[in-house]
Amino acid sequence: MQNEEAIIIGAGPCGLAAAIELERIGLRPLVIEKRNIVHSISQYPTYMHFFSSPELLEIGEIPFTTANEKPSRLEALNYYRTAAQRHQIRVKAYESITSITPDGDFFILQGENRFGEKSSYKSRYVIIATGYFDHPNELGIPGEQLDKVSHFFRESHPYVGMKVAIIGGSNSAIDAALELERVGADVTVVYRGDDYSKSIKPWVKPGFQSKVAKGSIRMLFQSTVIGIENHAITVQGPEGPLQIENDFVLALTGFHPDRHFLNASRVTIEEEGFPTFNEATMETNVPGIYLAGVVASRHEANEIFIESGRYHGCKIAGHIQSLK
């Protein structure tokens, strides 16, 4: 068994920021990541640009420089990778933590790597910074499990000339629709709201509205997809059900934390489906287990939440230091 002072589960921006803050109070945390560093950002659309300006995404007092007004996905990958290297953060990649069990004033963590090899750790403090992106909000409708349905959008090329339905009205849905239209896809956006979301990036919204007005993109408000078939979808709208020819469905309906893992770790889940924690310290109802990053975001969008989530490590470090 490997003994550690503190273990951080998740090497996203907020997990890395927490590691830097713990180092500043004399701890030497181990960051365990089931995939690669900032995996969630690597899953973003290939040509995505952040809503936030670069200084709002900085960690560890390392400047985030870019020639653009808004940093790109590629620039962010390079930035966070560099931050981890400069601060010499200990990251154990491609290993999953499968359980956290209290052991007196410590915790026993069981891990498993991608080859099925087991490992175990003992740590006084555990910071869960796992994000959301492995747990999409499912629609619960017939056909959702078909191969044509995806909860992620990476790039438009695979959809050239295809009839694509996008479910959702957030920035991710709007950005995907614009990219798909540019490569010649036949795009229909299905959104349950009665008007455009107020969260849409202001520099993107006019162009999108223009595409809709010209008929280049079909926008269905007050509508939900109620069924998915091999070559069609059924949409329930204000005028009743409508069947639309379809090749692919992008269900960009958001994500939620791994409630099963949190519950198994004895972290309680509130009625709204989010974990219990103290916002002043980020400590959960289990003393010694903390949350950092989007796992504690409740309703906030992930790319915006990095702006505040990067400070969770300061709260955690301050609380741990006060206990000494």
Rg (CA), the chain: 21
Asked whether residue 81 falls in the same domain as residue 99, the answer is yes
Task: Classify residue 283: in a domain, yes or no.
Answer: yes
Residue 272, domain extent: 2-135+255-323
Write the CB contacts of 93 (distance below 8 Å, at least 6 apart in sequence): 11, 33, 35, 36, 37
Asked whether residue 263 falls in the same domain as residue 127, the answer is yes
Select from 251, 279, 299 the last residue of a domain. Answer: 251
Asked whether residue 171 falls in the same domain as residue 231, the answer is yes
The 8-class DSSP code of residue 300 comes to: S
Decide the pairing of beta strands 289-291 and 248-251: unpaired
* Residue pointed to by tokens 């009839």: 163
CB neighbour class for 56 (10 Å; exposed up to 12, middle 13-18, buried from 19) = middle
The type of residue at 269 is: I
Asked whether residue 125 falls in the same domain as residue 265, the answer is yes
Asked whether residue 157 falls in the same domain as residue 191, the answer is yes
Domain total in the chain: 2
Asked whether residue 311 falls in the same domain as residue 215, the answer is no
Which tokens belong to 282? 């980020």
What pLDDT score does 99 carry? 95
Select from 191, 220, 251 the last residue of a domain. Answer: 251
Q: Would you list the DSSP string of 252-279? A: ---B---HHHHHHTT--B-TTS-B-B-T
The answer to whether 284 and 200 are in contact (CB under 8 A) is no
Asked whether residue 247 falls in the same domain as residue 273, the answer is no
Considering only CA atoms, which of 158, 146, 174 is closest in space to residue 233?
146
Asked whether residue 53 falls in the same domain as residue 82, the answer is yes
* Residue pointed to by tokens 């933590």: 97
Select from 205, 235, 251 the last residue of a domain. Answer: 251
Task: Classify residue 200: in a domain, yes or no.
Answer: yes
User: Which three-class secondary structure state does DSSP give residue 224?
Assistant: strand
Whole-model pTM: value is 0.81
Which segments in the chain show pLDDT lower than 50?
301-302
What pLDDT score does 32 carry? 98
Task: Classify residue 172: in a domain, yes or no.
Answer: yes
Count the Cβ atoms, other than its own, within 10 Å of residue 163: 18
What pLDDT score does 300 carry? 54
Domain with residue 126: its CATH number is 3.50.50.60
Asked whether residue 62 falls in the same domain as residue 127, the answer is yes
The answer to whether 18 and 313 are in contact (CB under 8 A) is yes
The answer to whether 278 and 270 are in contact (CB under 8 A) is no
The type of residue at 63 is: P
Considering only CA atoms, which of 75, 70, 41, 68 is closest in space to residue 53?
70
Task: Classify residue 140: in a domain, yes or no.
Answer: no
Task: Classify residue 93: in a domain, yes or no.
Answer: yes
CA angle 118, 122, 127 (to 5 degrees): 100
Asked whether residue 157 falls in the same domain as residue 171, the answer is yes
Task: Classify residue 99: in a domain, yes or no.
Answer: yes
Asked whether residue 163 falls in the same domain as residue 274, the answer is no
pLDDT tens, residue by residue, 161-177? 999 999 999 888 999 99
Measured distance CA(231)–CA(237) in Å, rounded: 19
Task: Classify residue 142: in a domain, yes or no.
Answer: no
Which tokens belong to 2? 């490997």
Asked whether residue 131 falls in the same domain as residue 201, the answer is no
